[in-house]
Amino acid sequence: MRPERPPVTTVKEPATKPEPPRDPARPYELTYRQGTRPGDRVVRVVPTYRGRFTRKSGRLVATEQGSTGDSALWNAIRWRLIGRPIPTERESEERVGVFKGLAVFASDNISSSAYATEEIMRVLALAGAGVLALTMPITIGVVAVLAIVVASYQQTLRAYPNGGGSYIVASDNLGPAAGLIAAGALLTDYVLTVAVSVAAGVAAITSIAPQLFDLRVALGVGFVVLICLGNLRGIRESATIFAAPTYVYLVAIFGLLAYGLFRFATNALPVYSAPADWQPQGTEVLGVLLIMRAFASGAVALTGVEAVSNGIPAFKPVEYKNAQVVLILMGSFFGAIFLGMSFLAQHIGILPDPSEQETVVSQLTRLLVGEGTPYHYLVQISTAVLLVLAANTAFADFPRLSSILARDGFMPRQFAHRGERLAFGMGIIVLAVLSSALIVGFGGSVTNLIPLYTIGVFVAFTLSQSGMVKHWWTRRTTERGWRIRLAFNLLGAIATAVVAIVVGVAKFALGAWMVLVLIPVLIAVMWGIHRHYRRVEDALFVAAPSRLEALSPIVVVPIGRFDRATLRALAVARALSAEIVVLHIASDPADAARFESRIANLNDDGLRPVIIESPYRALGNPLLAYLDTLDRDDPGRPITVVLSEYVPAHWWEWFLHNQLALRLKVQLFFRPNTSVVDVPFRFDRD
């Protein structure tokens, strides 16, 4: 698309005369002197910006066309997958209220109810079927901890209305080291959240479609990719995707529980007998450690709480109040489902399937409403969809936390860049890759992944709640009601610390050790990145630059022969430097002598001929070797290689020209301290 010829004005004037003053009304005008001798032309260029830029009070504003590049095909593919770009100013439109907010932020927590009961029962079953009677007490314990945490976080939301993730609260009150520990623990847990949720969602599907069981790894990775694409589209659309499954699940599961409790009340619970080979062998003795493990497995349900406090800015105003409501609703819904589910499973006497082929929820539903009934399918499918989408909570939180860490210099800067759809693309992609690797590595099994899970989030909870205790204590003179708030947070801190220790001890040998090794490594890496960025920042700092220096590069022009194209390259080199190395790589001594006589004819004192005979016929490497010697001799100075490049008029002309120039450009591309200036030659014009 090349519109009308632009206004290039050529002014012929003596070079001694000063250039005309710039017109302040045309701030984009450029003035260039062609050549260096008296009588040379001065060219004025007034750019035209149609389509790609608009003007606004002396600045240019990039339009969508100017921001997305010219490849119509690539744009079409990208927009079909992730949608058209969204300007930054539309960011606040992307916020959610209570209804959608519950769907987005609570799906992680609420969906945990689909496997929390089962994971408690699996651990207890190791000590024999009789021990399963402990399911209900342990469930009550987990729900109690959840209630404490929700109460404690109500204070956090109020105190940090701009986002009170554990990293912010901990580093704000306890210092950057505590913040970094919380961040490392959370990042690890987000990756596990995705892996566990997706694996559990796949398990819900294979419960009703056993023929898919062997595909569970592929299905899991496929779902991760889909969620990843959904998140690259941005938050509002993902909220829309979410609302339906969350509410369908809530209605379906509450209906099921109500029906089950009605049958319990009327003494009409179904009779259950598990296959003989499912009968637990009682291989382990019931002890404190086993109960701790069962509790730890159930505590996975609390991972969703952090999401709400982290995501306050995504709510509509008044943000923190909406977040508080969502947090309470979430806790209530989850608690009710978890209690009801454990109650019914225990009273019917369901055993977990040792082969992981059918989930406990599926068994329960099947027994209550009959196998293959529409309601059974409704529960299973809505569970599966919700679990898969629950991974989305981590997809919202991981990139947001990464971007905050990147802004603070603890992670590479590109994590802080918002893409075309306002999403933190780098964080989303890294999360998808890591969680897919986990699903593949652990064979898509929920039970194998669970031991790694939960430890991180409770470490973060503890640090966050402890930070809040300090927060209220330092404000004890100014803030009314600090005592009660401090009490809530202290209770939360103690409860979550106890859980963290319980989880760590109970799961240590089963896999939690990996997480406990990984988190310090992650913290060390982030600390190293921060230290590096800070040192570079210190080195880069300038107080107030007032005068601009000039720094001449060493200019090297490799030339095969003298023709119009290479003379043009030399003309550009002349503008770059007063002294130019003209490098000729000669195939034999006769060639070298011929070149020497040609350059002597030119009689230009600024040209420094360097002739390299190349008995091995190499061209690129002797040039590179020569640049190495220059570099070694004056390391601070940039080297500029000027190449003449034929501009093809047709695609096939690429095969006939520039092969050498292209190879040199590739070889020089990664060479530090070196740049290549291509001087174009169009044979119809230049």
Q: In the window 613-642, what residues touch its own copies (CB under 8 A)?
A: 613-618, 620-622, 624-626, 628-630, 632-638, 640
Residue 560 makes contact with its own copies by CB under 8 A? no
Residue 676 makes contact with its own copies by CB under 8 A? yes
Give the footprint of its own copies on residues 58-97 (CB under 8 A): 58-62, 64-69, 85-89
DSSP state of 653: G
Which of 214/634 has CB closer to its own copies? 634
Q: Compose the 365-394 pattern: x for residues touching its own copies by CB under 8 A, - for all others.
A: ------------------------------
Residue of 167, 161, 374, 379 whose CA lies nearest to 257? 379
Residue 313 makes contact with its own copies by CB under 8 A? no
> In the bound complex, what is the minimum distance in angstroms from residue 635's beta carbon to its own copies?
7
Strands 41-45 and 8-12: antiparallel
User: And the tokens for 448?
Assistant: 């194998």
CA distance readout (Å), 392 to 92, 185, 226, 236, 238: 20, 18, 10, 12, 8
> In the bound complex, what is the minimum distance in angstroms from residue 253's beta carbon to its own copies?
41
Work out the number of other CB atoms within 10 angstroms of the CB of residue 354: 16
**Binder of its own copies out of 74, 287, 587, 594 (CB under 8 A):** 587
**Binder of its own copies out of 429, 487, 490, 592 (CB under 8 A):** 592
> In the bound complex, what is the minimum distance in angstroms from residue 175's beta carbon to its own copies?
24
Coil/strand/helix, residue 61: strand
> In the bound complex, what is the minimum distance in angstroms from residue 640's beta carbon to its own copies?
6
Q: Compose the 529-558 pattern: x for residues touching its own copies by CB under 8 A, - for all others.
A: x--xx-xx--xxxx-xxxxxxxxxxx----
How does 5-40 read in b/e, with b if 16+ C-beta sit within 10 Å?
Answer: eeeeeeeeeeeeeeeeeeeeeeeeeeeeeeeeeeee
Which of 22/476 has CB closer to its own copies? 22
> In the bound complex, what is the minimum distance in angstroms from residue 221's beta carbon to its own copies?
25
Give the footprint of its own copies on residues 16-35 (CB under 8 A): 27-28, 30-35
Binding span for its own copies by CB under 8 A among 52-60, 154-162, 307-315, 373-381? 52-60
Binding span for its own copies by CB under 8 A among 179-187, 260-268, 284-292, 573-581? 573-581
- For 188-226, the DSSP string reads HHHHHHHHHHHHHHHHHHHHH-GGGGGGHHHHHHHHHHH
On whether the CB atoms of residues 110 and 330 are closer than 8 A, the answer is yes
> In the bound complex, what is the minimum distance in angstroms from residue 414's beta carbon to its own copies?
5
CA distance readout (Å), 388 to 222, 385, 391: 11, 5, 6
Cβ-count burial of 567 within 10 angstroms (0-12 exposed, 13-18 middle, 19+ buried)?
middle
Which of 509/625 has CB closer to its own copies? 625
Which of 468/565 has CB closer to its own copies? 565
Residue 471 makes contact with its own copies by CB under 8 A? no
Report residue 30: phi and psi, to 5°.
-115, 145
Residue 672 makes contact with its own copies by CB under 8 A? yes
Which of 369/565 has CB closer to its own copies? 565
Give the footprint of its own copies on residues 645-664 (CB under 8 A): 645-647, 653, 655-657, 659
Which of 244/599 has CB closer to its own copies? 599
Give the footprint of its own copies on residues 134-163 (CB under 8 A): none
Residue of 338, 310, 321 whose CA lies nearest to 461? 310
Give the footprint of its own copies on residues 323-352 (CB under 8 A): none
**Binder of its own copies out of 2, 12, 80, 480 (CB under 8 A):** 2
> In the bound complex, what is the minimum distance in angstroms from residue 655's beta carbon to its own copies?
5
> In the bound complex, what is the minimum distance in angstroms from residue 532's beta carbon to its own copies?
6
User: And the tokens for 445?
Assistant: 């099994």
Give the footprint of its own copies on residues 169-188 (CB under 8 A): none
Q: How many residues bind its own copies (CB under 8 A)?
A: 145
d(CA 484, CA 7): 73
Which of 365/640 has CB closer to its own copies? 640
Specify the long-range contacts of residues 40-47, CB closer than 8 Å, at least 24 apart: 40/15, 41/10, 41/11, 41/12, 42/10, 42/11, 42/13, 43/8, 43/9, 43/10, 43/11, 44/8, 44/9, 44/10, 44/11, 45/6, 45/8, 46/6, 46/7, 46/8, 46/9, 47/6
> In the bound complex, what is the minimum distance in angstroms from residue 622's beta carbon to its own copies?
4
d(CA 44, CA 408): 44
Give the footprint of its own copies on residues 410-469 (CB under 8 A): 412-414, 417-420, 422
> In the bound complex, what is the minimum distance in angstroms from residue 71's beta carbon to its own copies?
10
Which helix (H) or strand (E) is 153 found in, with range?
A: helix 135-159
> In the bound complex, what is the minimum distance in angstroms from residue 222's beta carbon to its own copies?
28
Which of 267/546 has CB closer to its own copies? 546
**Binder of its own copies out of 430, 447, 574, 664 (CB under 8 A):** 574
d(CA 219, CA 242): 20
Strands 41-45 and 53-56: unpaired
> In the bound complex, what is the minimum distance in angstroms from residue 217's beta carbon to its own copies?
29
On whether the CB atoms of residues 314 and 235 are closer than 8 A, the answer is yes
What sign for the dihedral angle of Cα 560, 566, 569, 574?
positive
